[in-house]
Amino acid sequence: MRFLRALGVSLSVLGVRALNSTYDYIVVGGGPSGIITASRFAEAGKKVLLLERGVGPTVATGANDTLGWNHTLTAIDLPGLSADVGNLDAWNEYICSDVAGTAACVLGGGVTVNYMVFVYPQDRDFDDKWPRGWKAADVKGASERLYARNAGSIQPSADGKRYDQGLYKVLSGFFGKLGWKSVDMIAAPNEKHNVFSYPAWNIKDQVRAGPVRTYLPEAKERKNFSLRLRAKVNRVVREGSRVTGVEIVDELRNRTEIVRLSASGRVVLAAGALSTPRLLFNSGIGPDAQIETAKKSGVAVPPREEWISLPVGVGVKDHPIFSINVNTTGSYAPLDYDSILDGSDSDIELYRNGSGPLTMGKHRMIFFTSNSVNGHTRFYQGSCAPAGQGVVSITAYMTHGLSSSGVLGLDEKGNTVFEKSPYLQTADDVTAATMFIDEMVDAITDPSTGFELQTYTNTSAILGSLTAGIHYTSTAKMGTDDGRYNGTSVVDTNTKVYGMDNLYVVDGSIHPDLPTGNIQATIMVVAEAAAAKILAH
């Protein structure tokens, strides 16, 4: 107590307010991984503080920018507007301005603004490269716990009908002729070669689902759980290998504070794969050069003798996206977002009954395939959405099995930056991507289809259309080869940072490998599994 008071005095001299409450768990970041782990800690009877730098995106979490025709819903909630999310006012408010790629700085993280595609991981996503204790069989219980609360849906309309199926009709005919198989991607997650499916979306009760709706309300009911919004964490406060608290900026009051852990407390980082590395650098954990930069950016990093040399940021991965746009001459078009927003859209009446196209996400079909180069298999996902009258935009990702990675670092303004791009860094990745696109181009341009490529009209142009998949991982990789001793791993298989006693990471940063599909379901499965490991450890 004397010590705490002494600390309080010295901190207040520095203009930093020290608070009295202490917590068993401080979870940093209210994205999917943070909400899920914090909820499970609270359920286990722990005193938990969840710190989120952004605002709440739903009416229940404080948003007031509701739709004119339904004052319990924001635009973010409505599945039918998810395709237009980048044009909403909320986008500018919610997107992080200080990271190397696209990430959301709002409660719910990426799951608040994403396109809702919800891909159950196939077994080999875990079995190929995750360490022992994290194979598909090991995380089965975690996936069951997730799906019990947040199952995703392939049929979100309450009347059991599928709407706006023009695109599906044309493309299922196309793939059918190629000999590909129709599957239910939720019921058969291991079918990932030459298959197509109706899309699975993160939708429940006709609104965008995700942990803000499926975990947080129950956690908030618990006395020992608190959520603080607009609380941006700068760094963890260390006494050597122990974390004693976190330094935050209260963005409403523009005030710096220290929030303390209880004597046996733990800090769990869940700021996302592009932000957690900054928290580690700022806390004296990572390559020396990055910690030096953190110091230059004005952060009170620990003294040099306390730095822990770990390969944070090294090996960052993402799915590259290639754009394949095709005029199919089919009959379909994107929804009319302006009329949905202003309330004049004729589908709104049906939505009031829980049905119709506004209950669906933007895609109309998802396909998967794989190929092999030098005996090594790589997977591909194609997400197909209407882009114009009869025109489909295929977002084609190279996914599980790709061998490229990059390096994430920090600049002197405190932004995370790519020091080396994660995309197409190996010759085999380039060969494999080229093979896949060549085959797609050949099939699409076969005269029997009547299809026509648009914008990118040959393989090299499609390869050149590369954009970020926004499924970043592996910036604080989990594994048994301790990074302090020339290994590649930053956290152990309990998700604890090597060299620290009570610091954990649970977000996309720790994934040692990329999954076969869009990553959010995998992020949530891993968070469920991590919460159980941390509580048991």
Ligand X SMILES: Cc1cc2nc3c(=O)[nH]c(=O)nc-3n(C[C@H](O)[C@H](O)[C@H](O)COP(=O)(O)OP(=O)(O)OC[C@H]3O[C@@H](n4cnc5c(N)ncnc54)[C@H](O)[C@@H]3O)c2cc1C
Residue 120 labelled as part of a binding site: no
Q: How far apart (Å, rounded) are the C-alpha atoms in residues 295 and 311?
A: 18
| The only residue of 28, 73, 106, 534 in contact with ligand NAG, by rule CB under 6 A | 73
Among the residues of 246-302, which ranges form H helices? 276-282, 288-296
Name the nearest CA neighbour of 180 among 373, 324, 382.
382
List, in sequence order, every residue forming a beta bridge with 314; answer none if it has no partner: 407
Least distance CB 259 / ligand NAG (angstroms): 11
Total binding residues toward ligand X, as defined by CB under 6 A: 41
Closer of 25 and 130 to ligand NAG (Cβ): 25
**Is 106 annotated as a binding-site member?**
yes
Q: Cα–Cα distance between 115 and 83 in angstroms, integer?
A: 6
How many residues contact ligand NAG, by CB under 6 A?
31
Beta 70-74 vs 66-67: how paired, if at all? antiparallel
Does residue 519 interact with ligand X by CB under 6 A? yes
- Give CA–CA dist 33/519, Å, rounded: 12
Please say which residue, 415 or 434, places its beta carbon nearer to ligand X: 415
d(CA 401, CA 129): 10
Using the contact rule CB under 6 A, the part of the chain among 64-72, 285-293, 313-321, 366-374 near ligand NAG is 64-72
In angstroms, the CA 142 to CA 122 distance is 14
Q: What is the CA radius of gyration of the chain?
A: 23
Of 166, 73, 112, 71, the residue nearest 359 (C-alpha): 73
- Given candidates 223, 303, 305, 447, which one binds ligand NAG under the rule CB under 6 A? 223
Distance between CA 473 and CA 488 in Å, rounded? 14
Q: Which residue has the tokens 């819903």?
A: 73
Nearest CB to ligand X, comparing residues 59 and 468: 468
For ligand NAG, the closer of residues 335 and 519 by Cβ is 335
d(CA 407, CA 275) in angstroms, rounded, equals 14
Q: Record the tokens describing residue 49, joined without a space.
A: 């503080």
Q: Rule CB under 6 A: is residue 388 a binding residue for ligand NAG?
A: yes
- The single residue among 3, 13, 20, 89 that binds ligand NAG, judged by CB under 6 A, is 20
462 binds ligand X (CB under 6 A): no
Q: Using CB distances below 5 to 8 A depending on partner kind, what does residue 113 bind out of ligand NAG, ligand X, none?
A: ligand X
Cβ atoms within 10 Å, residue 448: 8
Is position 442 an interface residue for ligand NAG (rule: CB under 6 A)?
no
By a kind-dependent CB cut-off of 5 to 8 A, residue 224 interacts, out of ligand NAG, ligand X, none, with ligand NAG
Least CB distance to ligand X at residue 358 (A): 18
Interface map 344-383 toward ligand NAG (x if CB under 6 A): -----xx-xx------------------------------
Among ligand NAG, ligand X, none, partner that 271 touches (CB below 5 to 8 angstroms by kind): ligand X
**Residue 207 annotated as lining a ligand binding site:** no
Residue 254 marked as a ligand binder: no
> Does 37 contact ligand X by CB under 6 A?
no
Q: Is 490 annotated as a binding residue?
A: no
**Cα 266 from Cα 354, distance rounded (Å):** 43
Query: Could you tell me if 58 and 217 are in contact, meaning their C-beta atoms sit under 8 angstroms apart?
Result: no
**Integer angstrom CA distances of residue 317 from 100, 138, 143, 147:** 12, 23, 23, 26
For position 243 contacting ligand X by CB under 6 A, the verdict is no
Tokens representing residue 27 in the block: 């979870």
Judged by CB under 6 A, which of 23, 32, 359, 429 binds ligand X?
32
Question: Of 234-242, 330-338, 366-374, 385-393, which part binds ligand NAG (CB under 6 A)?
Answer: 385-393
x/- map, 2-31, ligand X, by CB under 6 A: --------------------------xxxx
Query: 48-51 and 314-316: which strand pairing?
Result: unpaired
Instruction: Using the minimum distance from each CB to ligand X, give the nearer residue, 57 or 390.
Output: 57
Binding-site residue numbers are: 106, 114-117, 233, 508
